[in-house]
């Protein structure tokens, strides 16, 4: 979601049809909150009819646009932001909906739904969650993979001059790596080294040199991979020190917060 308004989106049908339901819902809901009270009530009572003038749309696009807006409206209902009025026609903004008024608020809700914070490694909750809620996925991913680099360097007791993919290959070298597991078959040890080196090369290095755009889906998958890699590092460190894996690298780490709220 960017800073355009619903009117901007309605003026660019290709843009509108390219949005996911939750993205388009953000525009609809921000527009609803920004509307004057009479206009807001008209939208809530008449729904999509007061959002778009079908007479201004090309005939071959009308049904697609109305369907896309209906999907967005349904998303708002499903997330508990609007609800059908129990004793009269139309809809009302819910108590939750009244607290979410901007595009940033809706972006944060969508992020929390797609990437529950309790699934992230505690170090990532501390370092990247605020960036995820802002929609700054490039920063979130870069910081996550920098955390992996820091964690691997500490666990392997490597000097600060060891960085990036070369650090990963050194730490997880199939023969001499301090974080390798000699009990594992050689191909698996080698593959783990490739996995760490490849992940750092793919997700940390590019953002060090240029701007990289990520979608929410990209961020979700990249951060879940980062969580897995950090847990592997924790486990390898715990073997060396005899410390429980969740304390091996960061004894004061905040545990994930499990909440029933989005």
In tens, the pLDDT along 200-219 reads: 999 998 877 888 888 878 88
254 belongs to a structural domain: no
Q: Per residue in 126-180, pLDDT tens?
A: 899 888 877 788 999 999 999 999 999 999 999 999 999 999 999 999 999 999 9
Say if residue 120's pLDDT is above 80: yes
Q: Strands, DSSP E only, in 105-216?
A: none
* CA-based nearest residue to 122, from 218, 249, 214: 249
Q: Are residues 107 and 123 in the same domain?
A: no
Res. 245 pLDDT band, cuts 50 70 90? low
Domain of residue 19: give its range: 6-112
Same domain, 70 and 94: yes
Tell me which DSSP letter residue 12 carries. -
Report yes or no on 253 lying in a domain. no
One domain, residues 105 and 30: yes
- Whether residue 259 lies inside any domain: the answer is no
Mean pLDDT computed over 34-48:
81
Q: How many CB atoms lie within 10 A of CB 255?
A: 9
SS3 162: coil
Structural domain contains residue 255: no
- Give the count of beta carbons closer than 10 Å to the beta carbon of residue 22: 22
C-alpha torsion angle, residues 203, 208, 211, 212 (rounded to 10): 0
Positive or negative CA dihedral for 180, 182, 188, 191? positive
* In a shared domain, residues 46 and 32: yes
């Amino acid at each position: 979601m960017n800073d355009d308004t619903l009117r901007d989106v309605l003026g660019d049908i290709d843009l509108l049809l390219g949005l996911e339901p939750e993205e388009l819902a953000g525009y609809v809901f921000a527009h609803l909150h920004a509307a004057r009270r009479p206009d807001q009530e008209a939208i809530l009572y008449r729904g999509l009819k007061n959002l778009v003038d079908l007479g201004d749309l090309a005939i071959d696009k009308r049904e697609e646009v109305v369907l896309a807006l209906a999907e967005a409206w349904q998303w708002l209902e499903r997330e508990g932001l609007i609800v059908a009025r129990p004793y009269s026609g139309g809809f009302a903004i819910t108590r939750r909906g009244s607290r979410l008024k901007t595009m940033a608020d809706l972006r944060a809700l969508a992020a929390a739904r797609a990437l529950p914070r309790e699934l992230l490694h505690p170090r990532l909750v501390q370092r990247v969650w605020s960036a995820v809620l802002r929609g700054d996925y490039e920063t979130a991913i870069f910081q996550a993979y920098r955390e992996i680099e820091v964690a691997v360097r500490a666990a392997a007791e490597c000097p600060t001059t060891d960085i990036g993919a070369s650090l990963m290959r050194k730490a997880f070298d199939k023969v001499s790596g301090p974080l390798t597991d000699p009990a594992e078959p050689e191909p698996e040890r080698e593959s783990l080294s490739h996995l760490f080196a490849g992940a750092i090369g793919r997700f940390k290095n590019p953002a060090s040199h240029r701007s990289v755009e990520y979608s929410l889906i990209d961020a979700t998958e990249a951060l879940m991979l980062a969580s897995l890699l950090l847990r592997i590092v924790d486990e390898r460190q715990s073997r060396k020190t005899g410390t429980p894996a969740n304390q091996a690298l960061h004894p004061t780490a905040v545990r994930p917060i499990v909440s029933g709220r989005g």
